[in-house]
Amino acid sequence: MIGIAVVGYGYWGPNLVRNIAEIPDARVVYVCDLAKERLANVKLRYPAIEITDDFEEILRDPRVDAVAIATPVSTHFPLAMKAMMAGKHVFVEKPMASTAEEARRMVEEAARRKLVLAVDHTFVHTGAVRKMREIVENGLGEIYYYDSVRVNLGLFQHDVSVIWDLAVHDLSIMDYVLPEKPVAVSATGMSHVAGEPENIAYLTLFFESKLIAHIHVNWLAPVKVRRTLVGGSGKMIVYDDLEASEKIKVYDKGITLNGNPQKNGEKVYQMLVGYRTGDMYAPQLDMTEALGRELRQFVECIDTNGQPIADGQAGLRVVRILEAATQSLAQRGRVIELEQQRRIA
Amino acid sequence: MIGIAVVGYGYWGPNLVRNIAEIPDARVVYVCDLAKERLANVKLRYPAIEITDDFEEILRDPRVDAVAIATPVSTHFPLAMKAMMAGKHVFVEKPMASTAEEARRMVEEAARRKLVLAVDHTFVHTGAVRKMREIVENGLGEIYYYDSVRVNLGLFQHDVSVIWDLAVHDLSIMDYVLPEKPVAVSATGMSHVAGEPENIAYLTLFFESKLIAHIHVNWLAPVKVRRTLVGGSGKMIVYDDLEASEKIKVYDKGITLNGNPQKNGEKVYQMLVGYRTGDMYAPQLDMTEALGRELRQFVECIDTNGQPIADGQAGLRVVRILEAATQSLAQRGRVIELEQQRRIA
Amino acid sequence: MIGIAVVGYGYWGPNLVRNIAEIPDARVVYVCDLAKERLANVKLRYPAIEITDDFEEILRDPRVDAVAIATPVSTHFPLAMKAMMAGKHVFVEKPMASTAEEARRMVEEAARRKLVLAVDHTFVHTGAVRKMREIVENGLGEIYYYDSVRVNLGLFQHDVSVIWDLAVHDLSIMDYVLPEKPVAVSATGMSHVAGEPENIAYLTLFFESKLIAHIHVNWLAPVKVRRTLVGGSGKMIVYDDLEASEKIKVYDKGITLNGNPQKNGEKVYQMLVGYRTGDMYAPQLDMTEALGRELRQFVECIDTNGQPIADGQAGLRVVRILEAATQSLAQRGRVIELEQQRRIA
Amino acid sequence: MIGIAVVGYGYWGPNLVRNIAEIPDARVVYVCDLAKERLANVKLRYPAIEITDDFEEILRDPRVDAVAIATPVSTHFPLAMKAMMAGKHVFVEKPMASTAEEARRMVEEAARRKLVLAVDHTFVHTGAVRKMREIVENGLGEIYYYDSVRVNLGLFQHDVSVIWDLAVHDLSIMDYVLPEKPVAVSATGMSHVAGEPENIAYLTLFFESKLIAHIHVNWLAPVKVRRTLVGGSGKMIVYDDLEASEKIKVYDKGITLNGNPQKNGEKVYQMLVGYRTGDMYAPQLDMTEALGRELRQFVECIDTNGQPIADGQAGLRVVRILEAATQSLAQRGRVIELEQQRRIA
């Protein structure tokens, strides 16, 4: 039985508690929050869970094996570090930290102490994203592009830009789905509220191969869109998260390149590209709640000394891109190399 | 009665002929093309139209008041210049020219000779785009962003990139719809066929105000998308050109800014942004064929010494951006100032 | 403070308890169910609510002012009658009873004892349906038709046909939205599982005017559809309950009749019908949870001796149609008069 | 070389001429119409085609092997009969005739004279409908239902009701796609313009098996819908003719019946029905123009003494149902047996 303390009972914390409560091998020992009303709510719904506003109390309690952190981003690093120093495993909300340097130190700490460090990249545990990865691995051929749009009339955040709030989802999905990691980023965007972070942004990610990725995030759109296109030489995918059941559509479409076309000055529109169109199919998806699956896996990793799918390294890779994109955005799209960063790290 | 010679009878030329044939005050005197089969086709369908493969013949003929040029982009400049030098008015396909320098010289020539120079920015003559401009003028408030996606499994061009082929539409629409002109551009993209121009591209356009524009074009998408979002402080527009009838939807949605919020260190998520949601409406649109409307206007401008909606200046502005975007794309998104270009020009 | 006992804690009962719990002037005194596990669940989540498997205990308890019945249809009549005989107000699930005769007796009992008898026609409390009624009243003109489709791969019921399970929703919405009541019904359908009730059915409802209504229900459809068209001489409505936000669309479309067309034997296709097309708009809707609104109204009616929107008479009208439709269905569409029934009743 | 005379050059005639003109083994000898302007149009576009307003002239001309009739429904019978009596093969628009008796006599005449009698059920030649038939044959299992909706703000006809104008399409598709023929029909509907035929109608078709079919047609709908659901024990199909490319979607969904469920009085909702959900796929479709395909087949049948897919028998079956539906409609849905009719015929 793994004892877990949930820290932060705002928007996401209740989901953590509800899902951990359903795992046979785990239990929520504490909920920790600074707001008394929230703690009162916990007591009302879960009389057996202890409540506290003292993080240190949790760290001292030997019944606590792991800490699940669902607090504002800026507190992830200090809380996670303290928890690991006290020997606790850590499950932390995304983005994992405010800077790549923080994220790197968290990864090192977990490695040094052989603790499980999982980052809550929830989407990679959905049936849709897992299916997408499966298709990318087995039939997409050479991958040409990854294009994602995540826009709606959303809650403006005051501490982080739309990149850290929305693009983090796309970056974590990409990190899981694509076999390659980006080497550079160019980002543009704008803040429409004086003194506040960007509410609209566009990221282009470059890779060593010809793969190109692009993410469009916007808190100020009249319609909600959650749509990703992945184009490959073999097949193409449309992932629309707002579809009730057919979230993933796989198209047997693309171009075929003619081996050795003769350049012929006379024909202006000579074609070396052919077009292929075929069936489309929408595979059935596992509709299990992603967060439950993810937390069960976290518990299992603690039990078996395993590696979570979204571990600290994945979290670090995502934060690195967020950081570089933020730099690029401040310079109207100047490309920022991620390789270089990696070396520094 | 305005006599017109149509030069180039490939994909678009037949549409020009068909539409001019329906204008009471105009007639097609010649069709000129280098391909004999095409000319034979003209004769079959329009026995009264003269055919020729000799451009000079047209220029010498006093019955020809104007020349409509529907040939490959690289030939627009020489053909248009010769025509104007022979005193003919010009209607030219978009993009107007291969370089901003060419376009600038065409504009100057037309001005010097007081000839009508119209660029075939067809979309600005559709009911949908005209309605969009009307809404932008009358109720959008401060304009925050313009975001367009134009993707499909399209014909790969060999002489121009996807920017010159598809983004040109968005740039011409933007030029017509927005009250401001861009001052800089950052573009990224990729070619997936060795030795060929880019088949996927992303453009960000910067303005003096906080307006930001973005265009996504792709020849290699599994689904066809033609969708533009325009966000303003007053209203927001979704323009979906693939909708059969409700192409323009206007949303009474947005944010409201609270005048003078007190920064309060304790509340992390303190809100100075409010959200407003209201009705949506889809105005009825004029469904007249845009090209017919445009050509009637061209004839009218010749008759009345008027200025076409998409004149040489508009064509030049679009080519300037295409050129700058191409430069930026080659440098992975390095921002290219359009102001500077304008000065050089 | 109105004390309410919720009877039946299966699929819908928990929603009743949760919503009543949020009404300041009401409280759930008891939950009554025959299944011990369900009662245990109540205790776990709502320690303050008393649990019992003895319906009589509820009736004896003076703290219970009203009974909310969420049990199988066949038990609605005996439970509601007993409750009213014990002086309790009644809120009963739809369909209100198994037969029109039962429903009629329930209405009479409530009238005799001056008790509130509300039927849970939840949809009439949604923002969408209330808006639809408002539009029908204020601008639809003469109403031509009401057409509804409610299909999906749904749970096959074993005690009632798809008409009693799904069409009941459409009939209750129609009863609320339309100014006229139907006078006859013709229904067809089929059972595809031997010995089980019909899983697909089509109902046509006739009115004294030229209004015609049709309902299509199906438990065996590959896609989920919830779409109603209402056509009038002034405007037309599309109500799509699966749309996230634009559930109601109002079209300024229709035909215009030319006053006094001359019949002319020579012209076969002579037109006395003109077509009108105009704007479409999607009004903003109140998104409050319908059930909460409905239960607050029930409590208010008890307090103020008021009449619920969906009272026993509405419930009876719906059951009458269900009963007549079932008769018609058994005779492959033979029309059944509702007038006649009404007289018998 | 088969010589064809096209009779009637209104809405559909030009399509016949255009398509026949592209068949290598056929040519249009005449176009016949009573309106001089229409004939002038023919001459303008097709100088080689002879024009006439005298149907008898066509019949006398030995160069004419076949007559294609695209005139109002009421004239199909006399024109086709005269043509066949003159030894000409016949291609006739749908519906084939005004009454089943007329259609029967046409079929007899064609049989007696060994002439090809083809009915223009265009849809059965589309890639979508042919694919649908293929799927029905190979994998739908037992067919449960066929449900079609064909509504829009359409042209009100003055000589025929919406059944003869729109449902005729669904009936011809059904006739081609389903292995069984209907045995009875119940129809309801309404006319909203005094003195004019019904503009909205609902047809239910019964079969010997448990298959049930339903068709909804409406000239007065605010939105255009062309959607057919076909449900079988093995798979289910959605055919949406307004989809640009994915017109046919095949769902691996349905119910599974448990062999020998024990009826158990205690459990009200005991389940003998299980649910199966799987992948969906949208097969690639042949996008060839249906009418061209159909006319090529007609010419081929003349050459080879073959049988067209939609022959006189198919046309007769459809007219029989239209006639019975019209009778049923006049009696508010009274079921009309088709078997009985067939015997009379």
Q: Identify which of D222, D268, D273 has the shortest CB distance to residue C72.
A: D268
E-assigned strand segments in D33-160? 50-52, 66-69, 89-93, 117-120, 143-153
Q: Identify which of D278, D280, D284 has the shortest CB distance to residue A277.
A: D284
Percent residues over pLDDT 70 in chain B: 94
- In this prediction, residues B283-305 reach a mean pLDDT of 96
Confidence of residue D177 (pLDDT cuts 50, 70, 90): very high
Give backbone dihedrals phi and psi of A201, rounded to 5 degrees, phi first: -155, 155
Residue A331 domain-assigned (yes or no): yes
Is there a contact between D283 and A279 if contact means CB atoms under 8 Å apart?
yes
State chain A's mean pLDDT as an integer.
93
**One domain, residues B258 and B282:** yes
Which chain D residue lies closest to C158 (C-alpha atoms)? D269
* Angle between helical axes of D100-113 and D312-330 (0-180°, round to 10): 170
Residue A316 domain-assigned (yes or no): no
Using an 8 Å CB-CB cutoff, list chain B residues near A275. Answer: 153
* Angle between helical axes of C100-113 and C312-330 (0-180°, round to 10): 170
Confidence of residue D274 (pLDDT cuts 50, 70, 90): confident
pLDDT score, position D194: 87
What strands lie across the sheet with A2-7, from one edge to the other? Answer: A50-52, A26-32, A2-7, A66-69, A89-93, A117-120
- Characterize the bridge pairing of strands C50-52 and C66-69: unpaired
**One domain, residues B179 and B248:** yes
Residue A345 domain-assigned (yes or no): no
**One domain, residues D325 and D299:** no
**One domain, residues A149 and A197:** yes
Q: What angle do CA C218, C333, C208 make, to 5 degrees?
A: 100
Would the pLDDT of D167 be above 80?
yes
Window from B99-108, C297-306, D56-65, D269-278 with minimum mean pLDDT: D269-278
**One domain, residues D99 and D194:** no
Is there a contact between D153 and C253 if contact means CB atoms under 8 Å apart?
yes
Using an 8 Å CB-CB cutoff, list chain D residues near A246. Answer: 280
Using an 8 Å CB-CB cutoff, list chain B residues near A232. Answer: none
Percent residues over pLDDT 90 in chain C: 85
Would the pLDDT of A270 be above 70?
no
**One domain, residues B51 and B136:** no
Model ipTM? 0.93
Using an 8 Å CB-CB cutoff, list chain C residues near D191. Answer: 210
**One domain, residues D300 and D225:** no
pLDDT score, position C46: 87
Chains A, B: CB contacts within 8 A come to 168
Residue (of D315, D313, D316, D311) closest to D100 by Cα position: D316
What amino acid occupies position B338? L
Report d(CA C271, CA C263) in Å as an integer.
10
C-alpha gyration radius of chain B: 22
Range of the domain at B17: 2-122+290-311
Residue C279 domain-assigned (yes or no): no
Buried b (16+ CB within 10 A) or exposed e, A108-125: ebbeeeebbbbbbbbbbb
Three-class SS of B60-102? HCCCCCEEEECCCHHHHHHHHHHHHHCCCEEEEECCCCCCHHH
**One domain, residues A174 and A95:** no
Q: What angle do CA C154, C158, C163 make, to 5 degrees?
A: 60
pLDDT score, position A46: 87
**Taking the CB of residue C258, how many other CB atoms lie within 10 A of it?**
10
Residue C257 domain-assigned (yes or no): no
Window from A201-205, A307-311, C337-341, D117-121 with minimum mean pLDDT: C337-341
Question: What is the tens place of the pLDDT at every residue in C47-95?
Answer: 889 999 999 999 999 999 999 999 999 999 999 999 999 999 999 999 9
Three-class secondary structure of residue D195 per DSSP: coil
Using an 8 Å CB-CB cutoff, list chain D residues near B244. Answer: 224, 242
Would the pLDDT of A117 be above 50?
yes
- In this prediction, residues D192-215 reach a mean pLDDT of 96
Would the pLDDT of C336 be above 90?
yes
Neighbours of chain A (3+ CB pairs under 8 A): B, C, D
Window from B78-87, C209-218, C332-341 with minimum mean pLDDT: C332-341
Which chain B residue lies closest to C251 (C-alpha atoms)? B282
Q: How far is C289 from chain D (nearest CA, A)?
A: 28
Would the pLDDT of B268 be above 50?
no
Q: How far is B50 from chain A (nearest CA, A)?
A: 26
**One domain, residues B266 and B284:** yes
Q: How far is B277 from chain C (nearest CA, A)?
A: 7
Residue (of C69, C108, C110, C58) closest to C91 by Cα position: C69
Report d(CA C246, CA B253) in Å as an integer.
13
- In this prediction, residues B139-147 reach a mean pLDDT of 95
Using an 8 Å CB-CB cutoff, list chain A residues near D252. Answer: 284
Q: How far is B245 from chain D (nearest CA, A)?
A: 10
**One domain, residues A276 and A159:** yes
Is there a contact between D251 and C157 if contact means CB atoms under 8 Å apart?
no
Residue A315 domain-assigned (yes or no): no
Residue D231 domain-assigned (yes or no): yes
User: Is-cis flag, bond preceding D95, omega within 30?
Assistant: yes
Question: What is the tens place of the pLDDT at every residue in C170-206?
Answer: 999 999 999 999 999 999 999 999 889 999 999 999 9
Question: What is the tens place of the pLDDT at every residue in A161-206?
Answer: 999 999 999 999 999 999 999 999 999 999 999 889 999 999 999 9
Which chain B residue lies closest to A153 (C-alpha atoms)? B254
DSSP code per residue over B227-286: EEEEEESS-EEEEETTSSS--EEEEEEEEEE-SSPPP-TT-TT---EEEEEEEEEE----
Which tokens hold the place of D216? 């909804």
Using an 8 Å CB-CB cutoff, list chain B residues near C246. Answer: 280
Residue C95 domain-assigned (yes or no): yes
Would the pLDDT of A113 be above 50?
yes
Would the pLDDT of B270 be above 90?
no
Which chain D residue lies closest to C184 (C-alpha atoms)? D332
pLDDT score, position A271: 53
pLDDT score, position D203: 98
The contact set of D with A (CB < 8 A) is: 245-246, 252, 277-284
Using an 8 Å CB-CB cutoff, list chain B residues near D244. Answer: 224, 242
**Under 8 Å between Cβ of A94 and A315:** yes
The total number of residues written for chain A in this structure: 345
Which tokens hold the place of A109? 């700490």
Report d(CA A134, CA A286) in Å as an integer.
13
The contact set of D with B (CB < 8 A) is: 45, 224, 242, 244
**Under 8 Å between Cβ of C324 and C171:** no
C-alpha gyration radius of chain A: 22
Is there a contact between B153 and A277 if contact means CB atoms under 8 Å apart?
yes
CATH number of the domain at C303, please. Answer: 3.40.50.720
Report d(CA D18, CA B52) in Å as an integer.
28
The contact set of A with D (CB < 8 A) is: 246, 252, 277-284
State chain C's mean pLDDT as an integer.
93
pLDDT score, position A258: 66
Would the pLDDT of D248 be above 90?
yes
CATH number of the domain at B203, please. Answer: 3.30.360.10
Using an 8 Å CB-CB cutoff, list chain B residues near D45. Answer: 45
Which chain C residue lies closest to B250 (C-alpha atoms)? C281
pLDDT score, position D272: 67
Total domains, chain A: 2
**One domain, residues D111 and D128:** no
pLDDT score, position C344: 38
Which chain C residue lies closest to B251 (C-alpha atoms)? C282
**Taking the CB of residue B240, how many other CB atoms lie within 10 A of it?**
17
Residue appearing with tokens 């669902």: A70
Confidence of residue C302 (pLDDT cuts 50, 70, 90): very high
* Angle between helical axes of B312-330 and B168-177 (0-180°, round to 10): 130
**One domain, residues D226 and D78:** no
Q: How far is D48 from chain B (nearest CA, A)?
A: 12
Confidence of residue D44 (pLDDT cuts 50, 70, 90): confident
Would the pLDDT of A342 be above 60?
no
